[in-house]
Structure 1
Amino acid sequence: MTRLDRLGLSLLAGGVGLALLNVVTWTVGWDVGSARPALSGALMAAGLVALAVGMIQQMRAERDE
């Protein structure tokens, strides 16, 4: 597992965790605000992009061998 893969998984996990926190606070009745859902989505998107870039790099490296 490369450093980029670990970064992507960390960002994705952070986004999912923040999304779960948003759902829990919404269920309890607390104000979620407008920044946390956007941040959650941005973290998940960045994680998916990092994982996709890592996969493309790995496929190119295997093709060049």
Structure 2
Amino acid sequence: MNYFNKYFLLSLILLLTVNFTETTSAKNSNEIDASIESALARFSEEVQGSQGYLDGARGY
């Protein structure tokens, strides 16, 4: 492969990689807290003995 083809291919791959990557944004702390509270409420409603399990859990 000659010099031009080699760097053209490399540039094309780099351009496609940069252009087609998706940007993600993280949730803020309030959204995360709301999701956790919702999950814990659902867990408590649906699982028998859930309070005993949560009492022994770290960070709860």
TM-score when normalising by structure 1 = 0.35
* Higher RCO (Cα < 8 Å, 6 or more apart): 1
Decide which structure has greater helix share.
1
